[in-house]
Amino acid sequence: MRFWTVLFLAVMVLSAQDFFTFPNEQTDLGKDSEMLLSEYDARSGEYRFMYNLAKALLAEGKYEQALINAEAALALNESDPWGWKLKGDILLAQDKRDEAKASYEKALEQKDSYEFLPVWDELVVIAPEYYANLGLLYRDKARENKNDDLAQSAIDYLGKYPGGPFEQQVESGINEMEIFLQRTKSQERQQSQAMEMQRMEMERKMEIKASRESFMTERPYLVGVYFNSFVHSADIVFETDDIYTPTGNPIIDNEIDLDYAAGALNDFHLTGGYVHKKWILKAGLSIGKTNVGKGYDIDSVYSEQQDRFVLITEEIGSVRSLLFNTDAYYNLYYTDPILLYAGGTLNAGRLKLETKEERFDPEFIAGAGIGGGLMLHFDNFLVDLNIKVNAVGSSSGTVIGFGGMYKF
């Protein structure tokens, strides 16, 4: 039983000795007792020599001679804790437990020797009440170094205390170290969770990078369809070459403003494109028909029945649009599945006012502007919401588009 206890304590000491300070042992001369005794007359006044002689005799089981020489060494230097430990080891080997205990206690009393773990290793075996002192020593070191192993050792040692006057301190020390370990485990869990989040974030960034590289380099061609709504801001006026009505009177409304006919024009947009690195290049054709249902005055005639002039009107059926546009967009931000972009746009086309008699000439428009939008990327499918502002030209205004594209 003593063997396993000492082995356990030795393992604990070796794992914790970096946190404790105590004097170094005398240099081993590397000689057996016979060789040392041959030098006895010349060197018996040297403490190191006498210490090594006593240690060699102990190793050879010559306890009486070892004790005599250990006491002779201490007579030369009684402040060396290793000398007192050696004496205690010799006495313990002779089963003189009380005398060994006193010698070990003397070793711990020397200057800077209270943390002399090899002594504690032996002392607690022959005097278990010292488990309280050793456990509290480990508690103090655990506090100082914030070390879990030291805290656990403190709990283990304090738990071996057989009972006595330090019961309250021992119980308090165990409780403190258990709380310390719980707090540390909680911190470790938090750190582990933080590291896991960092790992997941790193993986996410790598996935986004791979997805971005794939988007920019693989399946570069685009084809899609959009629904657009164009709110114009330019003054667009439809004019007619018909000066007179069939009755010979001048047409009353020979000019119609697009604002009157339709505040916004809606169309379907067919597009194709190409992705080159961070650039998205597109071209497409918009075809639209916006119903109007408003009338315009062409003539007035006198009604005898109503005894007044009555206006003759015709209905504007719709505004047809046919526009060609090109876009060059730059990818500003990409995080799967979101892509933000901005760039420039050019467009040109024709607007036609549809009436019963097809009186009004079409209007040709063109312009340039800027645009941007947000795409959602799902494998090879793109869902796109964009806005374009035509800042110059006869097609100035705002276009809002929503649609989808396929990447191949």
pLDDT tens digits along 4-29: 554 544 555 555 678 999 889 988 88
Q: How much is the pLDDT for 16?
A: 64
Residue range 179-205, pLDDT digits in tens? 999 999 998 899 999 999 999 999 988
**Separation between Cα atoms, residue 367 and residue 377, nearest integer Å:** 30
User: Region 74-96: what's the mean pLDDT?
Assistant: 96
Residue range 358-384, pLDDT digits in tens? 888 999 999 999 999 999 989 899 999
**Could you give the 3-state DSSP secondary structure of residue 295?**
strand
User: Region 230-235: what's the mean pLDDT?
Assistant: 91
Q: How many CB atoms lie within 10 A of CB 199?
A: 10
First and final C-alpha spacing in the chain: 77
Q: CA separation (Å) from 89 to 13, 82, 99, 108, 215?
A: 17, 10, 10, 14, 76
∠ CA 159-91-113, rounded to 5° = 60
Do 317 and 355 touch, CB atoms closer than 8 A?
yes
**Does this chain's domain 2-187 share its CATH topology with 219-407?**
no
Can the peptide bond before residue 337 be classed as cis, meaning omega within 30 degrees of 0? yes
**Separation between Cα atoms, residue 154 and residue 178, nearest integer Å:** 10
Of the given ranges (83-97, 175-189, 303-317), which has the lowest mean pLDDT?
303-317
Structure tokens at 224: 């899609």
Residue range 125-137, pLDDT digits in tens? 999 999 999 999 9
User: Region 291-320: what's the mean pLDDT?
Assistant: 83
Q: CATH number for the 2-187 domain, one of 1.25.40.10, 1.10.10.10, 3.20.20.220, 3.40.1010.20?
A: 1.25.40.10
User: pLDDT-based confidence at 2, cuts 50/70/90?
Assistant: low
**Separation between Cα atoms, residue 92 and residue 67, nearest integer Å:** 11
Partners of 225 in the beta sheet? 270, 404
User: Region 282-287: what's the mean pLDDT?
Assistant: 97
Q: How much is the pLDDT for 247?
A: 64
User: Region 77-103: what's the mean pLDDT?
Assistant: 96
Q: How much is the pLDDT for 358?
A: 83
Average pLDDT, the chain: 91
Query: Does position 164 have pLDDT exceeding 70, yes or no?
Result: yes
User: Region 217-244: what's the mean pLDDT?
Assistant: 90
∠ CA 386-230-390, rounded to 5° = 70
What's this model's pTM, rounded to 2 decimal places?
A: 0.55
* Percent of the chain topping pLDDT 70: 94
User: pLDDT-based confidence at 347, cuts 50/70/90?
Assistant: very high
Of residues 62 and 313, more confidently modeled: 62
Q: How much is the pLDDT for 275?
A: 95
Class of domain 219-407: mainly beta
Domain ranges of the chain: 2-187, 219-407
Per-residue HEC secondary structure of 147-189 comes to: CHHHHHHHHHHHHCCCCCCCHHHHHHHHHHHHHHHHHHHHHHH
Q: How much is the pLDDT for 293?
A: 85
